[in-house]
Structure 1
């Protein structure tokens, strides 16, 4: 299934902040962690990840430092800031409200469409 770019963009900030809250990490590792945590449903690209990381850093939600990885490669590692943790908590609460509202709405829509005689079935 192709997911809407708008939906992907809206969910990317809390996902990235949540992953970085687990511990300092770098872009490619975040991409792989998103794929792993989503069971392969979310496949991000570097072209999406790095502008997001730079924006979050500019907003003060992340901080970065260059470090030599175990492989010997120099990588930019990101860590969440106190402000980033607050933003993550707020976004998690907002997404919980949205998730619960959509679940209620869809459940109600199913009940309503089942009682209609127009033959339409809500999935």
Structure 2
């Protein structure tokens, strides 16, 4: 069965939501919707993580001590909840990126076992 490549990519990315959020926060503190926009814009709009998924990730990351949150002092509009990465979050981010890189290298070698540099044919 051939799966739609967009759905396949979304499934792969979904498992890395926490690492993606931590990566955004490595650049500086940010509020929820701004993180959403950063992720969307980084892919040229090709990938969006649903806001509900992101807010669940924020809660999970905070509970695990990987991010901390605080309320911004907004002079216009509603108050925003900001997030910043912790030292523990930086360490987890580094481990996850190393694991992803190792996994990607293994998959690349399995998809191209002869090392031809060409993408495998799709049937």
Answer yes or no: same fold by TM over 0.5: yes
Aligned alpha-carbon RMSD (Å): 2.0
TM-score by length of 2: 0.82
**C-alpha contact (below 8 Å) 1:34/1:43 kept by paired residues:** yes
Contact 1:110 1:122 in 2 (8 A): no
* Structure 1 stretches of at least 4 aligned residues deviating more than 4 Å after TM superposition: none
Larger radius of gyration: 1
| Mapped partners of 1:46, 1:68: distance in 2 | 22
How much has 1:70 moved relative to structure 2? 5.7
- Structure 1 residue 18 displacement after superposition: 0.5
Aligned pairs, how many? Answer: 114
Report the alpha carbon displacement of residue 41 of structure 1 after superposing the two structures with TM: 2.3
TM-score, with normalisation over the residues of structure 1?
0.82
Could you tell me which runs of 5 or more consecutive residues in structure 1 were left unpaired when the two chains were aligned: 112-120
Post-superposition CA distance 1:42-77 (Å, at most 9, x none): 111211110110000000000000113464320100
